[in-house]
Amino acid sequence: MEKTIDTFIAMYPKLNTKKSYRAAIYDFLDHIYGRVRAGERISGDEPAKYEELSVKYFSEERDYLNDLIGFIGNMSGKPPTSIKLKLAGVKEWLSFNGVELSQKELKTLRHRTPKAKGAWTVENEFDIPVLRKILAHADEKAAALILTLASSGMRIGEALNIKLKDMDLSKEPPELIVRGEYTKGGETRVVFISKEAKAAVEEWLKVRDDYIRASLNRNKGLIEKAAAGQKTGTDERVFPFSVAVVREFWSRALLKAGLHEKDNSTGRLQYRIHGLRKFFRSQLALSCPVDIVEALMGHEGYLTDAYRRYTRKQMGEYYLKAEHHVTVTGTGDIREIQDRLQNTQAALRGYKDIITEQTQEIAELKQRYEEQAKKIGETEKIQERIKELEEKLREVGDRYNKFMEDPIFYKVLFEGIRVVFIEFAKAFGLKTDFKDLDLKIDADEIIKKIRKKKLSG
C-alpha cells in the first residue's frame, strides 16, 4: 500500500478525525518547508503539493523529535487542547510511515506540550435574553440551526450531517436520528427538538433549495479561481453547508447583537456556538432526569443505560415536560422575533422615507432661496446704478445752473432760444413771446417725476 496522506486519512472512519488529522499534517509540513496554502482553505493543486512534501520529508534524514518540538513551539499561544490534538495527528502519521518514537522521546514531548488545565478561553454562558438578541439577527438557516442545537444538545458536526430522511417533524416531540458514522462515540441515537425549533426548521426548508442553487452559483466562481472544490445539487443534509459558513453567520449575528466579545488571552469569541450544548445540558436537566439528558447529548456510558431503562416514547415524554426550559422565544415560534424585527425595519424604512422627502423639500427651498437671493442681488445692483445716475444728474444740473448764472451768457442764450420758440409758435399759430422762459434745470424735480412715473408704470 502506498503511504500517502490520503491513504493514512482513509484509515479513520470519523469525518472529524479525518479533518483534524489532515489539518495537523498540513500545518506540520508548513512548519517544516514553509506555507503552501495561499488561503485558509486548501484548493487547486495544493493537496498534491503536500503529498510531494510528505514523500520528501520521509526521504530525508530528519530529527523527528526536534521537528516535533519545533512544531509545538510554532503553535505557541494556541489552546493546549488544539496543540495536543495536532500533535497526536502528526505522531499517528509518523507511525503510519514507520517512524516510532521511543518512550524517552514521547516523555520529552509530553513535558514540552502545554498542559490543558481547563479551557483557555473564558466563555460567556448563554441565557434566554442573550439567545433572543442573537436570533433577532439570524436568517432562516441560522435560526433553524441555532434553535436545533439549543433544544437537542447535538454537536455542531452532528447537526450538519443530519439527513432529511433522518428527520421526522410529524412526531411529538419532533425526532432526529443521529447516525453513528458521524458521532464522537460511534453510536446511533435519537434526539428531540422543541416546537419553536421545528417551526424554524420548517421556515428554513421553504428556502433551502433556493439556498443550494445560490450556493452552486457562488461555487462556480470559486472553482474558476481554484478556491474551492466542486459542489453538487444533491446534498441531502438538512443543513447543506459547512462549519465555516456557520462560523461566518454566527460571528455576523453576534456583531449585530453587540455580543462579539473576544477573550483577551486567546482572541476567541466568548459566545461560542458549541456553548449551546452546555445551555441544553443545564436547562433541560432542571425538569428531566440527568441520564436522559446525557443520553440525548451522546455521552458515552449513558446511552446504553438510558435506552435500557426508558423507551423512546418515555424519553420523549420527559423531554416534553422540560421543553419550556430550552424554549428561547417564549412562544415556541421563531417567527414572532422575525416579525418584530421586520416591523422595526419597516418603521425605520418609513422614517428614512420621511427624512428623504424632507431633504428633497429642503433642497428645493434652498434652490428657490438662492434664486430669490440672486434676484435680490440684481435688484440691489440696479438700485445702486439708479442712485449713481441720479447723483450724476444732480452734478450735471448743478454745473449747468452755475454756468447759467453768467448774465451775459444767459441773455445771449435766452434770446437765441426765445427767437427759435417764437418762430416755432408762429408756425403753429400760437401767440406768445416766451418772456417767462426759465432755462435753469431743477434736477431734484426731474428725479421726482421719474420715480413717480416708474411707480405708476
Residue among 151, 183, 195 at smallest CA distance from 288: 151
Higher pLDDT, 453 or 76: 76
Same structural domain, 306 and 378: no
Alpha-carbon 72 to chain mean position = 35
Same structural domain, 155 and 247: yes
Residue with cell 514553509: 34
Residue 201 lies in a domain: yes
Residue 121 lies in a domain: no
Query: Mean per-residue pLDDT for 33-41?
Result: 82
Domain that holds residue 51: 5-112
pLDDT confidence of residue 228: 45
Question: Which positions ≥6 away from 101 have C-beta within 8 Å?
Answer: 64, 65, 91, 94, 109
Residue 162 lies in a domain: yes
Same structural domain, 400 and 447: yes
Same structural domain, 309 and 375: no
Same structural domain, 232 and 358: no
pLDDT confidence of residue 400: 66
Same structural domain, 362 and 280: no
pLDDT confidence of residue 343: 64
Does the N-terminal peptide bond of residue 173 adopt cis geometry, omega within 30 degrees of 0? yes
Average pLDDT, the chain: 82
Q: What are the tens digits of pLDDT across the range 251-286?
A: 999 999 999 988 776 778 889 999 999 999 999 999
Q: What is the CATH number of the domain that holds 191?
A: 1.10.443.10
Q: How confident is the model at residue 364 (pLDDT cuts 50, 70, 90)?
A: confident
Same structural domain, 367 and 324: no
Q: Give the number of domains in the chain.
A: 3
Q: Residue 282: is it exposed, middle or buried by C-beta count within 10 angstroms (0-12/13-18/19+)?
A: middle
The pTM of the full predicted model, rounded to 2 decimals, is 0.55
457/454 Cα distance (integer angstroms):
5
Same structural domain, 13 and 56: yes
Q: How confident is the model at residue 223 (pLDDT cuts 50, 70, 90)?
A: very low
Residue among 248, 246, 220 at smallest CA distance from 161: 246
Does residue 233 surpass a pLDDT of 80?
no
| Amino acid at position 346, single letter | A
Residue 313 lies in a domain: yes
Query: Mean per-residue pLDDT for 195-214?
Result: 94
pLDDT confidence of residue 321: 93
22/159 Cα distance (integer angstroms):
22
Higher pLDDT, 348 or 64: 64
Residue 295 near residue 153, CB atoms below 8 Å: no
Query: Mean per-residue pLDDT for 234-258?
Result: 93
Q: What are the tens digits of pLDDT across the range 387-444?
A: 787 787 777 667 666 666 666 666 666 666 667 666 666 666 666 665 665 666 666 7
Same structural domain, 301 and 212: yes
Same structural domain, 214 and 326: yes
Q: Which of 333, 356, 378 is the last residue of a domain?
A: 333
pLDDT confidence of residue 114: 81
pLDDT confidence of residue 179: 93
Q: What are the tens digits of pLDDT across the range 48-104?
A: 999 999 999 999 999 999 999 999 988 887 878 888 889 999 999 999 998 998 999
| Amino acid at position 448, single letter | K
Q: What one-character-per-residue DSSP string does 360-375 give?
A: HHHHHHHHHHHHHHHH
Question: Which positions ≥6 away from 195 have C-beta within 8 Å?
Answer: 173, 323, 327, 332, 333
Residue with cell 448563554: 126
422/432 Cα distance (integer angstroms):
7
Helix, strand and coil content of the chain, in percent to the nearest 5, comes to: 65, 5, 30
pLDDT confidence of residue 226: 42
Q: Which of 112, 136, 171 is the last residue of a domain?
A: 112
Over pLDDT 70: what percentage of the chain?
Answer: 76
Q: How confident is the model at residue 354 (pLDDT cuts 50, 70, 90)?
A: confident
Residue 11 lies in a domain: yes
pLDDT confidence of residue 279: 95
Contacts of residues 79-82 at CB distance under 8 Å and 24 or more positions apart, as own/partner, are 79/116, 79/119, 79/120, 79/121, 79/266, 79/268, 80/113, 80/114, 80/115, 80/116, 80/117, 80/120, 81/116, 81/119
Residue 286 lies in a domain: yes
pLDDT confidence of residue 158: 94
- Torsion angle, CA of 313/314/319/322, rounded to 10 degrees? 150
pLDDT confidence of residue 116: 60
| Amino acid at position 277, single letter | R
Does residue 142 surpass a pLDDT of 70?
yes
Q: How confident is the model at residue 232 (pLDDT cuts 50, 70, 90)?
A: low
Residue 297 near residue 153, CB atoms below 8 Å: yes
Over pLDDT 90: what percentage of the chain?
Answer: 42
Between the two ends of the chain, the Cα-to-Cα distance in Å is 113
Q: Which of 47, 82, 112 is the last residue of a domain?
A: 112
pLDDT confidence of residue 411: 66
Residue 382 lies in a domain: yes
Higher pLDDT, 189 or 331: 189
Question: Which positions ≥6 away from 286 have C-beta within 8 Å?
Answer: 322, 325
pLDDT confidence of residue 19: 86
| Amino acid at position 165, single letter | K
Same structural domain, 276 and 226: yes
Q: What are the tens digits of pLDDT across the range 291-338?
A: 899 999 988 766 667 767 888 999 999 999 999 999 998 654 444 555
Residue 123 lies in a domain: no
Same structural domain, 146 and 32: no
